[in-house]
Amino acid sequence: MAIGSRHFLEAHYQVVFSPYEAEITALAQQGCHLLFISLDERLVGMIGLQDNVRAEALEVIAQLRQSGIDRIVLLTGDRVEKAQQLANALSMDECVAECTPESKVDVVQALQQQGRNVLFIGDVVNDAPVLAQADVGLAMNQSTELAQQAADAVLM
């Protein structure tokens, strides 16, 4: 038995997903992150995980807007469907999904070239380049060490 991403199971276990495309697409459109279960090189199960929006998230975004922040953008490596679902739930102004670390830097540079000051909040190793590029990089207290080192401040 093996559990993992579609890519992992296709590459290492030759699992065929084509009979299940409709179910996979439906779960992805719901914003699920999918894990797959295989047995004897056959797909035998799927697990759809969804992020939960923290209760205070909408309040924090409202406070940011009240303090004068006029544009809130979600930059994420997540799939478009999942990212858009989260952006809609949080009333984000823009959503850029399936980002690489380099494309996050490109988006921040484009905003800076428009004359905007950019605060970026990140927490993983892949966020280090964009945390360094932003006018203010803010890492979370339980973020990776590299993210904290690249950031200007760490939110405790």
The model's pLDDT over 28-47, given as tens digits with 9 standing for 90+, comes to 888 788 999 999 999 999 99
pLDDT surpassing 80 at residue 22? yes
Answer whether 66's CB lies under 8 Å from 37's CB: no
User: What is the share, in percent, of the chain residues with pLDDT greater than 90?
Assistant: 74
Q: Considering its fold, how many domains does the chain have in total?
A: 2
User: What's this model's pTM, rounded to 2 decimal places?
Assistant: 0.75
The model's pLDDT over 133-145, given as tens digits with 9 standing for 90+, comes to 999 999 988 888 8
* Same structural domain, 66 and 138: yes
**Stated length of the chain:** 156
Domain CATH for 85: 3.40.50.1000
* Same structural domain, 85 and 10: no
Bridge partners, residue 4, by sequence: 36
Task: Pick left, alpha or beta for residue 134 (phi over 0 → left; psi -120 to 50 → alpha; otherwise beta).
Answer: beta
* Same structural domain, 44 and 69: no
**Strand bridging mode 42-49 / 94-96:** unpaired
* Same structural domain, 64 and 33: no
